[in-house]
Amino acid sequence: MYNKIMQVRRNKKLNEEKKKILLKAVGDIIHEKRMERGIGLLLHSYEYDLSSNSLDFVEKGIRDPQLTTIWKIVESFDMSFPEFVEILTKRLPKNFKMSDD
C-alpha cells in the first residue's frame, strides 16, 4: 500500500512538472508573437478584449488558460490555431506527453 501511495505522489509531481513545461512554452510563444508586433501588453489586451492580468499570467506561464482564451489570443496574432499548435509542438521536448502510458 505504501509503495502505491508513493507512486501516486511521484506521478502527481511529474505531471506538475510537465504542466509547467507546457505552460512556459505556450507563454513564451505568445510573448514572442506580441513582441514581434511591437505592442505593449495593456494595448494588446485592450484591442482584443483580453484581460491584461490574464494575458500577463499566460505569458509568464503561471496561468493555465482555457482553450477558448488561447484560441482568442492566437487569433489576435492573425494565426490559426493549428499554426500555433505546430509551433508549440516544435518547442516542446521530443515525444512530450502530459500523461504516462
User: Residue 14 and residue 97: Cα distance in Å, rounded?
Assistant: 11
pLDDT tens-digit readout, 49-73: 989 999 999 999 999 999 999 999 9
Give the C-alpha distances (Å, rounded to integers) separating 51 from 1, 21, 32, 69. Answer: 46, 23, 18, 10
CA angle 44, 49, 51 (to 5 degrees): 80
**pTM for the predicted model, two decimal places:** 0.85
Render each residue's pLDDT in the chain as its tens digit; 101 residues.
766 666 666 666 768 899 999 999 999 999 999 999 999 999 999 999 989 999 999 999 999 999 999 999 999 999 999 999 999 999 999 999 887 75
Given a contact cutoff of 8 angstroms between Cβ atoms, the answer to whether 58 and 26 are in contact is yes
**If we measure between CA atoms, which residue out of 60, 55, 50 comes closest to residue 27?**
60
| CATH fold group of domain 13-91 | 434 Repressor (Amino-terminal Domain) (1.10.260)
